[in-house]
Amino acid sequence: MKNFFLTVSALSAAALALAGCSSSSTAGPPPTPTPLVPKFAYVVNNGGNNVSAYTITLSSGALTPVAGSPFSPAGSNGLAVDPTGKFAYVTAPGTNNVYAFTINASTGVLMAVPGSPFGAGTSPQGVAVDPTGKFAYVPDELSNNVSAYTINPSTGALTPVPGSPFGAGTSPIGVAVDPTGKFVYVSNPGSNNVSAYTINPSTGALIAVAGSPFGAGTGPEGVAVDSTGAFVYVPNAGSNNVSAYMINPSTGALTPVAGSPFGAGASPQGVAVDQVGAFVYVTNDGGNSVSAYAITPLTGVLAPVPGSPFGAGSSPVGVAVDPSGAFAYVANYFSGNVWAYGINPANGALTPVPGQPFPAGTNPFGVAVARMQ
């Protein structure tokens, strides 16, 4: 995007010179690219094999169903949107596939990408897209590996990366890519650890980090990397806590944060970090609540936010924070809806958005927010 605007600026200067004008006296600075803002929210419904789509009201965080929602056929578990909001990807454990959609930038409507669905390993679970939008990664729970794909930037179609799938721990489920696009982290609840990989920037291939996998608590589920790329957070469903790690910026290796693991509610599942790396939110599937933490700068230590945990629906699983850091969205599996919260920027506390909860499909599971111009 930056190069595009620099090109336009150069062409404008040339036109002014041909007209006998001084570009230095009449031409201003290059136009500023339009910022990306949260526009749509998507929720994959585990019991319906479809995706509910919503328009986000930026002033309040409220959700309005997109025309034609829910969209099918689709997967039922993992859900991710590429960084520019052009494509959405949904995993289907029952068919060993990944469904791909294009997102209509005006309406939020989902349309199947040509060739979708794309094959994965056995029982694909989570899905993550790297920050460049070039690669997608899917942990395959029953084949104990990670499927890697290149993303066609025009169509959103997926092509397996050479060497894919790549070995993981036992029963890999959660996946996250660090904000620099250098490392991938995968939670393995069957072996109670986290696999770490470096990404080949040219091909997207994964190379195991020295020392990987790294120990976690019992039954690690989701995984999230903070926006600064300094820390990894993993909720452990079997030990009711959150493992926190510091990332070695050179190698991607993980070192436990002092005091880790940190207490959570019953059976913590999903995890999300806000845009500036100030707060962490964890859904407590067995406690019908959301634990909120403030991240201590430099150390990554988690401190409970005042009022935490905050009430949610029945069996909250997926959680996402919108790119502006103003709102958090939680998919509640058994109550079939989405809870929306405003985030206090000073302390990270959650306040229910007016009009919530918002209806979803059967057994909503994963949630993601799309941002675009």
Per-residue pLDDT reduced to its tens digit, 181-201: 999 999 999 999 999 999 999
Residue 18 has pLDDT above 50, yes or no: no
CB atoms within 10 A of CB 5: 14
Q: Please write the tens of the pLDDT for every residue from 57-81.
A: 999 999 999 999 999 999 999 999 9
Per-residue pLDDT, 372:
74
Mean pLDDT across 338-359: 97
Query: Which amino acid is it at 331?
Result: A
- As given in the structure block, the two tokens for residue 151 are 């993303």
pLDDT digits 0-9 by tens, 311-341:
999 999 999 999 889 999 999 999 999 999 9
pLDDT exceeds cutoff 80 at 16:
no
Distance, CA of 161 to CA of 146 (rounded, Å): 11
Q: In whole numbers, what is the pLDDT of the chain averaged over residues?
A: 91
CA distances from 71 to 3, 92, 102 (A): 36, 14, 12
pLDDT digits (tens, 9 = 90+) for 170-181: 999 999 999 999
pLDDT of residue 17: 28
Q: Which domains can be identified in the chain, with CATH numbers?
A: 1-29 (no CATH), 34-372 (2.130.10.10)
Predicted confidence (pLDDT) at residue 275 exceeds the cutoff of 50: yes
Which candidate, 318, 314, 254, places its Cα nearest to that of 281?
318
DSSP 30: P
What's the pLDDT band for 26 if we cut at 50, 70, 90?
A: very low
pLDDT bracket for residue 35 (50, 70, 90): low
Long-range contacts: 248-253, Cβ < 8 Å, 24+? 251/198, 251/209, 251/210, 252/178, 252/182, 252/183, 252/196, 252/197, 252/198, 252/209, 253/196, 253/209, 253/210, 253/211, 253/212, 253/214
> Is residue 158 predicted with pLDDT exceeding 50?
yes
Predicted local confidence at residue 347, as pLDDT: 97
Terminal Cα-to-Cα distance of the chain (whole angstroms): 11
Asked if 320 and 367 touch (Cβ cutoff 8 Å), the reply is: yes
